Structure 1
Amino acid sequence: MKSFTEPIRFVNGWRILNLVFLVYLWASGEYASSVFILILLILLFTSMRWRFKLPVWSILLDTVVCFLYFPYTSIAYYGLSLPVFELALRGKWHFALLFFIALFVAPFSPEWLLWHLVLALFLGLFSYVSLQNLQKYKQEADEQRKARYELEKIKTDLLAANQSVSQQAELMERYRMARQLHDHLGHDLTGAALALQAYEYVQEPEEAHKLLQEVKRRLDHSTKSLRETVHNATPIALIGVENLEYVACNFPQVEVRFEKSGDLLFVPAHHWGLLEACLKEALTNAARHSDATEIVVKVQAAESIVRLLVQDNGTIQKKEQSGSGLRSLQLRARSLGGSLSVSANHGFLLVCVLPLREKG
């Protein structure tokens, strides 16, 4: 049905109607059989335009044939409606006005011929405008499709860049901690170990006492350095699974039961941001579109994946497969090599699965 409403269908339909009208005039009148050659020539030119995109000057062929048949048949005058229509269809309607000169040389009453040419001119202009609008809409649709594709690509690049920055920040923090432990704690412990080894061979009590004091000083300094390193490395805000548990347990609308299992320490930092967004989206959907009284949240870590499952016991009141928020989360999950699926068959269910890096 959609293809039937395209303007080119009406263009071809008008061409066929004109040819049928010429055949009707030939069949209903007493015309020589040679006049039918005129109709066949017009049919040939029309078929070529139907099949191929001919240049504008090809319309002169129809016109010349019709002018040659003016002295022999009145059908040639009505045959001018096709060149008029084709010129208007190409946007050359001002040239089509020249064909109205036939009204003054026609050997019969020109009233019907006038209306026939006017109708051809009007339908040609209407088809021209319709085709131009259709082309404009297709161009705009292509541009919007291209813009959406570029936007999705930018989103994917940003997510990949965010993941890379998160990994670089994690590596830099590990490097900083390793350097601090090596430069301070390592040197103090090494000095204390050497002092203890030297203590075994010292005979003088005063020298042995000095060595013990040195060991004590270095151990005190290394203990203080270790405490400072741990304190600086400890985040102020909740992160990881603790943050997810805080979000779930402090959700005010519905009671939430939170469960966690597996070794969650190996989950990358950039994964927790997506899991938190998925949890908040699921809780919001359950509160807005479901009559649930309880929500179960499970965070499970295995050898190669981490999975977030959010399930409520209600019924979805508003049937929506995937909103813009869920589509954005699905895109983020795919950019991390994982997947995000939702279901509304038995309450609202959201499952997000993300791959883990190798522990080695």
Structure 2
Amino acid sequence: MMSTEQSTNSDHSKTPALELSHLHKKFGTTQALNDLSLTIQRGEVVCLVGHSGCGKTTLLKIISGVDSPDGGSVCINGTQVAGDSGFIEPENRKVGVVFQDYALFPHLTIEQNIMFGLRKMAKSEARDRARQMLELVNLTHMADKYPHMLSGGEQQRIALARALAPKPDILLMDEPFSNLDRGLRDQLRHDTISLLRKLGTTVIFVTHDAEEALSTGDKIVLMRAGHIVQTGTPRELYDQPCCRYTADFFCDYNIVQGTMRTGEVETALGCFATDYIGDDCPAVVYLRPCDICPCLTQAATIDAISAQIESRVFRGDMEELTLKIGALSEPLKLRTSTRLPAQAETTQIEVSRDRALIFKL
């Protein structure tokens, strides 16, 4: 039989790490957050993504306690930290933050930077904790150096170590890798997220980069104008966007105009099946560049469409083609690993019709 203590621990582990309920925030006439609600479970890595001005950073400030909501509530591990019950100050929320610019103190050594947030500990205990963090990010040899002596990637790892040192319940990361070169950024992001998953840390990761969000989060929260457009796994948002905004954010689609009729959408590229039943109405078909495939003439099927090659960009393992099809007003773009003859001016293409997205206008 489960003891009372075991039952309490079990119930506690089921409590969400973060619950945001009907948050509102206004700056002058600008509605930064508009009735926003979100639940994040313990150990989840969640990406907040959206264009500049959508409310991502405002939301982080409210979670961390740097700012307060005009309405609604914030609960961390079941405890309300902002709302009708009052306001808990940032230093008492057990929330760590990694900033875009790292925010390391230039006059302190690396070890002292990490110890800065451990002032409630005895000095010897804080030093031991700082050294544990340096070992965690593989920078023990940098303990006595100053921030300006470190590379950008090393500074980012120190910022992470400092944020993790107080053992936060939630770690907020505000575009933490945007200042790094592409290759270093990808590797450091992979290493950092792998470490945080291993530690079981609940992470809220802010980015405006769709590819970064798709490759990082267990869950993605797409924001627009202060509200949530769609929440789900990376595959759900990419494969099953709820609207054109989500689709457009995560992929540069080819958009083909058409007419929706019962059971199908008629376009200049042929018909696409749909479960629509009703009167004729305008619609658009969204086709991913990777779902349009060139085929050599001898391999073309009866469904193949003739296209003129307007331009091509070779990218090593892939080639990007821009195609003109007589019946279409706009060119089509495709990405393929198929090697077409270098001098080819025309090609045949086939469309993966079952992969198309259809939106009624």
**What band does the TM-score fall into relative to the shorter chain?**
under 0.3
Structure with the higher strand share, 1 or 2: 2
Structure ranking higher on relative contact order (CA contacts 8 Å, 6+ apart): 2
CA radius of gyration, larger in: 1
Structure with the higher helix share, 1 or 2: 1
TM value normalised by structure 2: 0.19
TM value normalised by structure 1: 0.19
